[in-house]
Amino acid sequence: MKKQKVSSAVIRRLPRYYRHLNDLHQAGVERISSNALGASLGLTASQIRQDLSCFGEFGQQGYGYNVSSLRDEVADILGVNRGHCAVILGVGNLGRALMENFHFDRFGVTLAAAFDVVPEIVGRSCSGVPVYHTDQLEEYLTQHPANIGVLTVPGRVANRVAERLVSAGVKGIWNFTNIELTVDAPDIVVEDVHFADSLLALNYMISEAP
């Protein structure tokens, strides 16, 4: 596999490829051309080939791509098989909804534990995931290292909790707090999920539609 700097635009398209290839595989499709794959994703065949060439050589002239093999290759590029482990901070409405409805394991992530401060929640479990008091975060991560922290805490404490996660060895933060984190660590990856931004963009597009 090639080692080169990959643009964020390519990285953002990879999950779309993985999701679509997985759907094709489950539908029993064995092979697909770059033209057909691009058309189904609203991209050109050239874009598909260019994106994949960042990671190696895939497909055969006149044959196209083996769907199962390419799906597995993209999964490997995305780290689906690397055994990532996550903890979630905040078991309120959003945190609980994620725990109950989002299948972390389908994307190569084990959700190992959750943390909150509400007495009625601490000491219980949600969808089989134990809930600890937030005061136990560092002790837990010392004994059970995790590389992903999922933030669904109130915005006023988001940066403080993020700093604790980083200090405890977490390398990536999935941030649902609607707050821009000010994590002072260049090697930490923060992925922000802004529901409001997405809704506002939708508002604009339907408002401008003829």
How many angstroms separate the CA atoms of 51 and 21, rounded? Answer: 15
- Has residue 109 been placed in a domain? yes
**Whether the model pTM is above 0.75:** yes
How many angstroms separate the CA atoms of 100 and 94, rounded? Answer: 10
Instruction: For helices 67-77 and 8-26, give the axis angle rounded to 10 degrees.
Output: 140
Residue 3 — very low, low, confident or very high, per pLDDT cuts 50/70/90?
very low
Confidence check: pLDDT of 134 > 60: yes
Mean pLDDT across the chain, nearest whole number?
92
- Please report the pLDDT score of residue 4 as a whole number: 58
| Number of domain units in the chain | 2
Look at the block and give the residue holding tokens 């988001």: 158
How many angstroms separate the CA atoms of 37 and 6, rounded? Answer: 21
For residue range 82-93, list pLDDT tens digits in order: 999 999 999 999
How many angstroms separate the CA atoms of 53 and 162, rounded? Answer: 35
- Please report the pLDDT score of residue 64 as a whole number: 86
The first and second tokens of residue 83, run together, are 């055994």
- 161 and 182 share one domain: yes
- 73 and 110 share one domain: no
For residue range 6-18, list pLDDT tens digits in order: 898 999 999 999 9
- Please state the φ and ψ torsions of residue 25, each to the nearest 5 degrees: -60, -45
Confidence check: pLDDT of 151 > 70: yes
- The residue among 19, 44, 77 that closes a domain is 77
Report how far apart the first and last C-alpha atoms of the chain are (Å, whole number). Answer: 46
How many angstroms separate the CA atoms of 86 and 145, rounded? Answer: 9
Q: Specify which residues 200 forms β-bridges with.
A: none
- The residue among 77, 95, 112 that closes a domain is 77
Confidence check: pLDDT of 62 > 90: no
Look at the block and give the residue holding tokens 């033209």: 35
Which residue range forms the structural domain that includes residue 36? 8-77
